[in-house]
Amino acid sequence: MIAQILFFSLLYVVGLLVATAVKGRVPLMFIAITGFLWGSLIWVLLVICLLILGVPLTATSTGLGLLLLTGAALVWHIRRGSWQHIAGQAWRGSAGIAGLMFIIIVVIAQFNNSIVSPDSTYMLQTASQLISDGLADHVVADLSSRSIFLPAMHSAANLFGMDYFYSLQPLYFSIFCLTFVYLAVMAMAHIGVSRPWQSIILLTVGIVWFSSYFVIYQALYIHTNFNSGLYLLVGIGCFWLAHTTTQQDWLLLGAAAMIGFTLWRVEAPLFAVLFLGIWFAGNQVPYRSRWQSIMVYSVPVFIWYAVLWLRLGSLETVHLDPMRVVLILLAIAGLNGVVFFSNRAWLYRWLLRFRLVLLVAGLTLVLLVLVYLKGWHMWESFLNLIDDMLPLRGWWWGGIWLFAGVSLAYLLLNQLLRRRPFLPLEFYFLTTTLVFYQMMLALVFLRRNPYYVGLQDSGNRMLAHILPLILFYLVLKWAWTLKQANAAERTTSQ
């Protein structure tokens, strides 16, 4: 228990130090809430570096690595004099949040209510194998099936003589709740909704969230899906704020969050590339910021997948084979190419400004071909996904999807009927969501069996990636609609 508390606190501090060094004008409070996310991402990247260099993962090697990073961040802070900059901000509130984070870390370490499935145990096995075998062939094969983030995090438990960190998942869940509230409040304040209404909106979404069985299940379930969704929410939330507040420093953190999203799941790079294409290939934010952020995302991800490609060879794998890894590498390279040339006026005029429509239309076409090739398989998967989401055959999500779907439909209908303006970058949100579902369906083509109705179906679990983002969009849309209603009433009364 003490080991967990110490390790998580250490990662939190490292995350705070590094993130405050790169945060720019991003509020300190946000860094204080998400410090552990950056700390755990840094840990995973450190593990990847050591594995690639062939350095055994020991307490000494990883401790030295963390020490070096912390030292570098401290030097950066001292040279930049950033303490004075931080002191000028509302640091008391952030210090309070940091204190709360430590309390959360200590409290949740008292209980082990973990839920595990075979997938969990495989990943925990891989975690221990990372320590004992490094990047041996069987470890590479496992990592190509279930990705590296979760094994890398739990590998530290082995260094402390534990099998796994039972409070890791509750910690991510706690951070999710705080992050969601913070991002939502930031965005609603930017839209201009009053404090009481911010509270009402969050309270309404909150009671639905916390009463859903499968949501609470995610707080205890040792797996990748919910955490992947957490990083995705942070990524897209940061992108939205970067686009709408003109503070491009959000972009960098968003891109870093997308690395986290990508490293949680093997199929995630494909989703990430498309999402980044949606948000980065436009011209709303300066070219330089876009280009920097996309490089921050691409370099570590590209290196990791290149290493996988070099090592996979003829290994017997479940999900990734060399050809699929090449496709992922090409997709990342293609994304970089698109963003690199996105400042060309002709390219934007003739292609990139239609990218949302082209993307959805292209994926629809692909899906039609896949349906033609495997009709029953695809149709069954689609129907089962619907069943998973609704409390008809599947009960695990409860009414949360129904709530999100009906509420969004109501808000959209209201907007269309009253001819009110759209939420800023609303089509980005809509396209991100639509593309997610399209990709999910496209991926099932590669599976032996269709998605099925069940708690543990990977399709059902993957819904946890997008649910936080949909709820975030709902919050923004609701707030935006109220604001528009206010504006319309003022215009009428004048």
Partner 1 sequence: MPGRNLHWGFSLPIIIMAMVAVALNINTPISFSELHKPLPDDTLRTLANSYTTSRVSAPHYFKDFYTAQTLITTQAALDAVPISANTLTRDSRLEAVQLIPQPPVVIAETATCEALVAQALAALRLRDGGTLYFLTGDAVDMAVVLLPLCRADYIVLPQTQLESLP
Question: Which chain residues interact with partner 1 by CB under 8 A?
Answer: 111-119, 121-122, 124-125, 128-129, 132-133, 138, 141-142, 158, 163-164, 166, 197, 200-201, 204-205, 207-208, 211-213, 216-217, 220, 391, 393, 395-396, 398-400, 402-403, 406-407, 410-411, 414, 449, 452-457, 478, 481-482, 485-486, 489-490, 493
Taking the C-alpha atoms of residue 224 and residue 238, their distance in angstroms, rounded to an integer, is: 21
In the bound state with partner 1, the residue whose beta carbon lies nearer, of 207 and 326, is 207
Taking the C-alpha atoms of residue 43 and residue 58, their distance in angstroms, rounded to an integer, is: 13
Residue 33: name the closest of 234, 167, 190 by CA: 234
In the bound state with partner 1, the residue whose beta carbon lies nearer, of 120 and 431, is 120
Residue 16 structure tokens: 């705070």
Helix 287-312, helix 28-53: angle, nearest 10: 30
Under DSSP, is residue 221 helix (H, G, I), strand (E, B) or coil? strand
Cβ 372 to partner 1 shortest distance, Å: 25
Cβ 403 to partner 1 shortest distance, Å: 4
Q: Does residue 41 contact residue 259 with C-beta atoms inside 8 Å? A: yes
Q: Which residues pair with 115 in a beta bridge?
A: 221
35: Cβ–Cβ under 8 A, 6 or more apart, which residues? 12, 13, 15, 16, 19, 98, 101
Quote the longest CA-to-CA distance of the chain: 74
CA–CA distances in Å: residue 95 to residues 8, 82, 253: 17, 16, 20
Q: Which residues pair with 221 in a beta bridge?
A: 115
Alpha carbon of residue 421 to chain centroid: 28
Cβ 458 to partner 1 shortest distance, Å: 9
Cβ 67 to partner 1 shortest distance, Å: 27
Taking the C-alpha atoms of residue 46 and residue 65, their distance in angstroms, rounded to an integer, is: 7
Taking the C-alpha atoms of residue 106 and residue 158, their distance in angstroms, rounded to an integer, is: 20
In the bound state with partner 1, the residue whose beta carbon lies nearer, of 114 and 247, is 114
Number of other CB atoms surrounding residue 90 within 10 Å: 11
Amino acid at 247: Q
Under DSSP, is residue 397 helix (H, G, I), strand (E, B) or coil? coil
Cβ 142 to partner 1 shortest distance, Å: 8
Helix 225-245, helix 426-444: angle, nearest 10: 150
In the bound state with partner 1, the residue whose beta carbon lies nearer, of 13 and 443, is 443
Cβ 489 to partner 1 shortest distance, Å: 5
Radius of gyration of the chain (CA): 22
In the bound state with partner 1, the residue whose beta carbon lies nearer, of 317 and 342, is 317
In the bound state with partner 1, the residue whose beta carbon lies nearer, of 355 and 477, is 477
In the bound state with partner 1, the residue whose beta carbon lies nearer, of 121 and 246, is 121
In the bound state with partner 1, the residue whose beta carbon lies nearer, of 334 and 489, is 489
Cβ 1 to partner 1 shortest distance, Å: 9
Cβ 394 to partner 1 shortest distance, Å: 8
Cβ 94 to partner 1 shortest distance, Å: 31
In the bound state with partner 1, the residue whose beta carbon lies nearer, of 68 and 406, is 406
Instruction: Give a three-class secondary structure readout of 100-145.
Output: HHHHHHHHHCCCCCCECCHHHHHHHHHHHHHHHHCCCHHHHHHHHH
Cβ 452 to partner 1 shortest distance, Å: 7
Under DSSP, is residue 94 helix (H, G, I), strand (E, B) or coil? helix
Cβ 313 to partner 1 shortest distance, Å: 16
Residue 115: name the closest of 152, 37, 169, 153 by CA: 169
In the bound state with partner 1, the residue whose beta carbon lies nearer, of 216 and 327, is 216
In the bound state with partner 1, the residue whose beta carbon lies nearer, of 82 and 380, is 380
